[in-house]
């Protein structure tokens, strides 16, 4: 109903403005912008629904404000291009329609009516309602009975005797195991499910409906509701730092905790969560590539399930043989929406429904075969008698090609347990939810029977049985759960740890580099990551009065406010206001203590504009005062007009990158001396070592030979034509991910430059 109302108001606004309003630039821009917002909201809703099937949820906000490294995006490129083109077309059409009466005088009454109808259309749209509900849920008071139901377990297990293998099966919900609905879809894993303790009514609650959220719910007994203040959840160094989770308890009880998956660990911050709660051994796409038999055998997300589960089996064998007490968690990926992936080693490669092969069902029948094969190997091993195996879906399947068939069933999450220490076959039909999973496992291992809001389904009562509407109750507790992050609201003293690259204050720890917007009652952390703008660009968007603390490499801030540190790659702390005073302090100790200090100052609009403009200068256009080209900082000396073929700064210098240009080309503002020495500190990449490297100045050419270690070479040039351009041509650039940023395209490296100096020579 709300969709129809919003659409009707939208059409009415367009019609009234197009046929009645007349010419007025302000009214045209205002109406177009509001109508554009309405279009963008609805496209956002459509895109979110494509992923979640439920519109704009916490899952969407969390994923967009956390690390996207390693996301498998290739299957979404075509839909994304289609949406972008549709958006451009809609804006163009709106602009054309609204300007139909541009030759007529403005009618302010109709213009105002059209704008009000556009605003009403935005307000009535389901997307706007969903977003406002999410924002409100972050700020309300919460439910006073939360502390009565949230229970913290003991942080250890007395006399642990069993090892744990915990398999998170991506989107592999229990619904797939209904033989009446989907015959012969899961025969291998289904037989194992029926031979163990099978929990048949595991519900999915808000904040548990995507992978990292399902993991947090199952291990910590709470939904994943994060503080979306800026990108707070991406910058904070730990998940729910005060909470006791399953991994913490296992570690304290003497377990070595392992986690193995095929995708990148950084995606959605899984690495941060696991490291925060007891996991010391993490293996993802980057870590496994040196161990797997075929590093090139990958899907969009990472390594296929057959590869990953082979590594799990090898790890299980090694740890068991060593007599270690261990937990071994793994996460599959082949059943990921929108339609999954089929590995090359499974024999069940396709599944037909409605007389057609369905890719999502095919991925399910393939992946479950691999999971079953791993379990059968563990069961046949001499170590199974000391092992508990848990198989659990991380969440219900999202909007995939099996979606319409799944929604015709009574859906629930998968959770079953196989005990090696005792045969136990049982169907447990109590009402429960995924927050109960960790408590149930802890109970089996000999610990408490509760974690957070989770209760053991073997010896306790799930809160899903206590409350008639558990979903409503969880949403009421959302502000209380967000407060468990212990997110600071003020800053006084703080510590910069240069070894761990962390900033600590008010009991919280954050990754560096970091920018803080410091309000009277609110601290907004703004991290620098692979999907966010560099911190200086984010700072440039602050208002003149916004107070900030910026911890970063000195050269990024010092060129504005402390020129003598403009070439320093040490850590510095800058504080102040863009329209007022700013200070820069170099961090000169491994554990550096600082104080937040914002002296009263007069705000100067012109000063603010100069600072904002300077912060927005792109890296290659930055210029600093120096008598040489120093490559481990951004920009170039003032004498350089422009340069090309050079990659980003790294701690030691910069690589040439043939993806940006076949040659390293440095053009100086003035002609170079008639006679000079060119002093080059550099190294070669791979096969470029020991090969002659041409170095040209005008018509003069010299040969440079480098090793794979940094050396300093002096070349003697005569430059009678007074050329102003230096050209270095690496002989054999190599495509590689060496030293690359995760998620970035490979570079084509030739030589690594540390410093280049031009020294005039007499005579």
What are the sequence ranges of the domains in the chain? 2-139, 153-483, 493-617, 623-760
Please give the CATH number for the structural domain made up of 623-760.
Answer: 2.60.120.430
- Looking from the CA of 184 toward its CB, the CA atoms found within 13 Å total 6
Return phi, psi of residue 27, to 5°: -65, -35
The pLDDT of residue 14: 77
DSSP for residue 688: G
Would you say the C-alpha torsion 317, 318, 324, 328 has a positive or negative sign?
A: negative
pTM for the structure as a whole: 0.71
Distances (CA, A) of 676 to 63, 148, 509, 697, 718: 55, 79, 51, 11, 7
- Beta-carbon neighbour count of residue 459 at 10 Å? 13
Would you say the C-alpha torsion 734, 737, 740, 744 has a positive or negative sign?
A: positive
DSSP for residue 578: T
Average pLDDT, 10 consecutive residues per value, the chain (763 residues): 78 78 74 80 71 62 53 55 72 73 68 82 79 66 81 94 97 96 97 97 93 94 75 58 92 97 85 91 92 90 95 97 96 92 94 94 97 98 97 93 93 97 93 98 97 97 96 91 84 94 87 90 78 84 95 94 93 96 95 93 93 94 94 95 95 95 96 95 96 95 95 95 96 88 80 96 78
- As a whole number of angstroms, the distance between CA 170 and CA 466 comes to 29
Q: What is the DSSP string of 317-332?
A: HHHHHTT--EEEEEE-
Domain formed by 153-483, architecture: 3-Layer(aba) Sandwich (3.40)
The pLDDT of residue 37: 81
- As a whole number of angstroms, the distance between CA 647 and CA 741 comes to 12
Return phi, psi of residue 30, to 5°: -60, -45
DSSP for residue 255: P
Listed in sequence order, the residues at least 6 apart from 643 whose beta carbon sits closer than 8 Å to its beta carbon are 620, 636, 664, 665, 666, 667
361: left (phi over 0), alpha (psi -120 to 50) or beta: alpha
In contact, 54 and 208? CB cutoff 8 Å: no
The pLDDT of residue 531: 52
Proportion of the chain in helix, strand, coil states, percent, rounded to 5: 35, 25, 40
Rg of the chain over all Cα atoms, to the nearest angstrom: 30
Task: Kindly report the three-state secondary structure assignment for every residue of 579-626.
Answer: CCCEEEEECCCCEEEEECCCCCCCCCHHHHHHHHHHHCCCHHHCEECC
Cis peptide leading into residue 374 (ω within 30°): no
């Amino acid at each position: 109903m709300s969709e129809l109302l919003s659409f009707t108001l939208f059409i009415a606004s367009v019609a009234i403005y197009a046929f009645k309003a007349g010419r007025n630039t302000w009214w045209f821009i205002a109406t177009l912008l509001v109508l554009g917002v309405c279009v963008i909201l609805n496209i956002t809703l459509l895109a979110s629904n494509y992923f979640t099937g439920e519109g704009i949820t916490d899952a969407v906000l969390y994923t967009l404000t956390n690390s996207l490294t390693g996301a498998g995006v290739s299957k979404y490129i075509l839909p994304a291009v289609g949406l972008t083109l549709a958006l451009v077309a809609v804006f163009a059409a709106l602009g054309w329609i609204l300007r139909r009466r541009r030759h007529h005088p403005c009618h302010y009454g109709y213009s105002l009516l059209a704008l009000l109808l556009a605003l009403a259309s935005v307000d009535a749209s389901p997307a706007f309602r969903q977003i406002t509900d999410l924002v409100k849920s972050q700020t309300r008071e919460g439910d006073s009975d939360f502390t009565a139901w949230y229970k913290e377990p003991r942080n250890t297990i007395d006399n642990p005797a069993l090892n744990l293998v915990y398999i998170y099966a991506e989107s592999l919900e229990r619904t797939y195991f209904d033989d009446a609905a989907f015959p012969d879809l899961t025969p291998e894993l289904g037989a194992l499910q029926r031979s163990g303790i099978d929990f048949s009514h595991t519900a999915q609650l808000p904040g548990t409906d995507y992978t990292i959220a399902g993991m947090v719910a199952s291990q910590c007994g709470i939904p994943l509701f994060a503080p979306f203040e800026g990108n707070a959840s991406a910058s904070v160094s730990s998940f729910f730092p005060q909470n006791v989770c399953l991994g913490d308890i296992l570690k304290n009880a003497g377990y070595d905790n392992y986690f193995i998956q095929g995708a990148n660990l950084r995606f959605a911050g899984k690495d941060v969560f696991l490291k925060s709660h007891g996991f010391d051994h993490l293996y993802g796409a980057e870590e496994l590539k040196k161990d797997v038999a075929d590093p090139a055998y990958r899907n969009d997300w990472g390594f296929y399930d057959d590869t990953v589960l082979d590594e799990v089996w090898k790890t299980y064998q090694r740890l068991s043989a060593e007599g270690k007490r261990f937990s071994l968690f793994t996460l599959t990926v082949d059943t990921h929406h929108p339609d999954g992936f089929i590995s090359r080693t499974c024999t069940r490669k396709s599944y037909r429904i409605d007389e057609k092969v369905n890719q999502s069902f095919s991925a399910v029948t393939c992946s479950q075969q691999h999971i079953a094969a791993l379990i059968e190997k563990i069961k046949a091993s001499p170590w199974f008698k000391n092992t508990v195996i848990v198989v659990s879906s991380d969440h219900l399947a999202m909007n995939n090609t099996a979606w319409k068939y799944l929604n015709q069933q009574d859906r629930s999450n998968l959770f079953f347990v196989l005990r090696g220490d005792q045969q136990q076959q049982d169907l447990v039909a109590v009402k429960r939810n995924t927050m109960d999973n960790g408590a149930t496992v802890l109970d089996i291992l000999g610990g408490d029977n509760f974690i957070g809001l989770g209760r053991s389904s073997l010896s306790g009562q799930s809160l899903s049985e206590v409350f008639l509407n558990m979903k409503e109750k969880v949403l009421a507790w959302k502000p209380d759960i967000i407060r468990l992050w212990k997110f600071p609201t003020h800053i006084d003293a703080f510590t910069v740890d240069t070894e761990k690259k962390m900033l600590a204050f008010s009991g919280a720890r954050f990754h560096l580099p970091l920018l803080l917007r410091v309000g009277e009652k609110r601290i907004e952390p703004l991290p620098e990551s692979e999907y966010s703008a560099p911190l200086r660009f984010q700072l440039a968007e602050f208002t003149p009065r916004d107070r900030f603390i910026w911890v970063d490499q000195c050269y990024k801030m010092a060129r504005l406010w402390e020129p003598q540190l403009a070439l320093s790659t040490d850590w510095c702390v800058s504080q102040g206001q863009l329209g007022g005073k700013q200070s820069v302090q170099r961090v000169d100790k491994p554990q550096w203590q600082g104080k937040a200090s914002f002296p009263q100052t007069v705000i100067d609009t012109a000063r603010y504009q100069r600072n904002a403009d300077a912060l927005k200068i792109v890296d290659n256009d930055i210029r600093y005062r120096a008598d040489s080209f120093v490559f481990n900082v951004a920009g170039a000396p003032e004498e350089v007009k422009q340069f090309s073929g050079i990659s980003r700064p790294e701690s030691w210098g910069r690589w040439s990158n043939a993806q940006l240009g076949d040659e390293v080309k440095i053009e100086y503002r003035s002609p170079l001396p008639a006679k000079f020495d060119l002093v080059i500190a550099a190294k070669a990449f791979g096969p470029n070592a020991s090969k002659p490297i041409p170095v040209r100045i005008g018509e003069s050419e010299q040969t440079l030979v480098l090793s794979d270690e940094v050396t300093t070479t002096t070349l003697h040039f005569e430059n009678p034509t007074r050329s102003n351009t230096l050209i270095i041509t690496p002989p054999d650039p190599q495509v590689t991910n060496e030293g690359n940023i995760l998620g970035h395209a490979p570079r084509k490296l030739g030589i690594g430059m540390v410093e280049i100096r031009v020294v005039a020579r007499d005579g």
